[in-house]
């Protein structure tokens, strides 16, 4: 599973965001850490679009093909499938 371009672009623009991709035999995981200064992080998935709100910023991205879960926990956005 590939990182959505919108997330990659956001990470390139803001140095405190870290993206890691993990591939396992039966699962792929993309973890996006928005850092301690990000403030409250929420995600809402509407059909095939994820809407992320970080503090006063909002952006959207298409949920990657093969993803079956998009969640937030302690400032980390996780996409798994």
Question: How do residues 46-77 score in pLDDT, each as one tens digit?
Answer: 999 999 998 888 889 999 999 999 999 988 99
Strand order across the 76-80 sheet: 18-23, 28-33, 76-80, 69-73
Q: Above 90 in pLDDT, residue 15?
A: no
Fold classification of 5-80 is: Immunoglobulin-like (2.60.40)
Q: Model pTM?
A: 0.88
pLDDT at 34 (0 to 100): 86
Q: Above 70 in pLDDT, residue 37?
A: no
- What's the CA gap between 17 and 45, in Å, rounded? 21
Residue of higher predicted confidence among 17 and 15 = 17
Domain ranges of the chain: 5-80
* Residue 12, SS3 per DSSP: helix
């Amino acid at each position: 599973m590939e990182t959505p371009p919108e997330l990659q672009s956001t990470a390139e623009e803001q140095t405190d965001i870290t993206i890691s991709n993990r591939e396992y035999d039966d699962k792929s995981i993309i973890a996006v850490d928005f850092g301690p200064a990000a403030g409250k992080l929420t995600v809402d998935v509407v059909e095939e679009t994820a809407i992320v709100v970080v503090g006063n910023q909002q952006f959207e991205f298409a949920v990657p093909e093969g993803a079956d879960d998009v969640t937030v926990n302690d400032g980390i956005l996780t996409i798994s499938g």
